[in-house]
């Protein structure tokens, strides 16, 4: 399965290597550690807010998942450093991935 296919359907999966179990991010079909094949791990992943700022009224934050991958996401409520969040909405918009956490 390709990451973008599942993301397009609103599901956030984490790419993981079949061979060495390393998490591969940004998504790739080949592991950057051992060049093994990568599968998509499904789950209700819990992330942690590392940093945030705000553009106009819209907060944005950097969220860390599985202690190894980070994304930039929208958040509707006022963020706090260390706050635990989950992906509440995701997909592909105008060619870009988009992520929203809460």
Partner 1 sequence: MNKVGIAGYGITPFTKEDNKIEKVLLDSAKEIFKNNDKIHQNEIDAVLVSTNNNSKYLSPILCELAGIQPKISHSIESLCNSGTNSIVSAYSYIASGLADLVLISGAERYDSPGQILQWDNSRGEFKHPIFWASIFAKSYKREYSISDEDLAVVSVKNHKHAQENPNALSKKTYSIKDVLESKKLTDDLRLLDCSRPCTGSASIILASEEKMKKISEEPVWISGIGQKTISAGFTKNISLSSMESSKHASQDAFRMAQKENKDVDVLEIHDAFSVCEPMALESLGFSKEGKGMDMISESYETNNFKINPRGGLIGSGHPLGATGIAQTIEITQQLQSNALKRQVDNASVGLVHNMSAAATSSTVLVLEK
Give the interface with partner 1 as residue ranges (CB under 8 A): 25-27, 50-55, 60, 62, 69-74, 81, 93, 96-99
CA–CA separation, 38 vs 36, rounded Å? 6
CA–CA dist 44, 56 (Å, integer): 30
Contact 14, 24 (CB under 8 A): no
Q: 44 vs 55, which CB is nearer to partner 1?
A: 55
Nearer to partner 1, 44 or 95 (CB): 95
- The residue (of 1 and 81) whose beta carbon lies closer to partner 1 is 81
């Amino acid at each position: 399965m390709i990451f973008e296919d599942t993301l397009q359907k609103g599901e956030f999966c984490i790419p993981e290597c079949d061979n060495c179990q390393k998490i591969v991010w940004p998504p790739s079909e080949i592991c950057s550690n051992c060049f093994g094949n990568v599968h998509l791990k499904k789950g209700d992943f819990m992330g942690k807010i590392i940093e945030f700022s705000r553009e106009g009224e819209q907060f944005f934050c950097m969220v860390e998942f599985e202690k190894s991958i980070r994304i930039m996401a929208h958040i509707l409520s006022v963020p706090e450093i260390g706050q635990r969040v989950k992906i509440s909405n995701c997909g592909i918009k105008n060619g870009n991935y988009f992520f929203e956490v809460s």
